[in-house]
């Protein structure tokens, strides 16, 4: 079974703090994607990482793909209330079909003003 485990499941912090969300697996992924989902909406893609060790930045968000392509992290600097939402990681398993995403259960993030 190819699972993506996200941690923490829930995080509530004050505006201005930094945080890191993790996405881990024992399997290798061809690519890994991070999505943010707000209530009543579908997930919105934030970034796709493909290369082991890759780091991508999106304003205050920094995404890293592990060297072995089994894990990823999302770091938010100086969190803002607008960052509140459900953060989901999803990956394309290396040896399986090239279309079906394996999803983590998500990290529910609340940023308090």
Partner 1 sequence: GAGVSQSPRYKVAKRGQDVALRCDPISGHVSLFWYQQALGQGPEFLTYFQNEAQLDKSGLPSDRFFAERPEGSVSTLKIQRTQQEDSAVYLCASGGTTDTQYFGPGTRLTVL
Strands 5-7, 10-14: pairing kind: unpaired
**How does DSSP classify residue 53?**
T
How many residues touch partner 1 under the rule CB under 8 A: the total is 25
Nearer to partner 1, 14 or 97 (CB): 97
E strand spans, 3-97: 5-7, 10-14, 19-24, 29-37, 44-49, 55-58, 61-65, 71-76, 85-93
Show contacts with partner 1 in window 22-81 (CB under 8 A).
Answer: 30-31, 33, 35, 40-45, 48
Show contacts with partner 1 in window 87-106 (CB under 8 A).
Answer: 88, 90, 92, 97-101, 103-106
Give me the residues that bind partner 1 (CB under 8 A), please: 30-31, 33, 35, 40-45, 48, 86, 88, 90, 92, 97-101, 103-106, 108
């Amino acid at each position: 079974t190819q699972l993506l485990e996200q941690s923490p499941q829930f995080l509530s912090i004050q505006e201005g703090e930094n945080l890191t969300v993790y996405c881990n697996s024992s399997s290798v992924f061809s690519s890994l994607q991070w999505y943010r989902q707000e209530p009543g909406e579908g997930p919105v893609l934030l970034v796709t990482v493909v290369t082991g060790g890759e780091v991508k930045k999106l304003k205050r968000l920094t995404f890293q793909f592990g060297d072995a392509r089994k894990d990823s992290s999302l770091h938010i600097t100086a969190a803002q209330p607008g960052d509140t939402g459900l953060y989901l990681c999803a990956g394309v398993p290396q040896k399986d079909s090239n279309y079906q995403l394996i999803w983590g259960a998500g990290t529910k993030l609340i940023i308090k003003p």
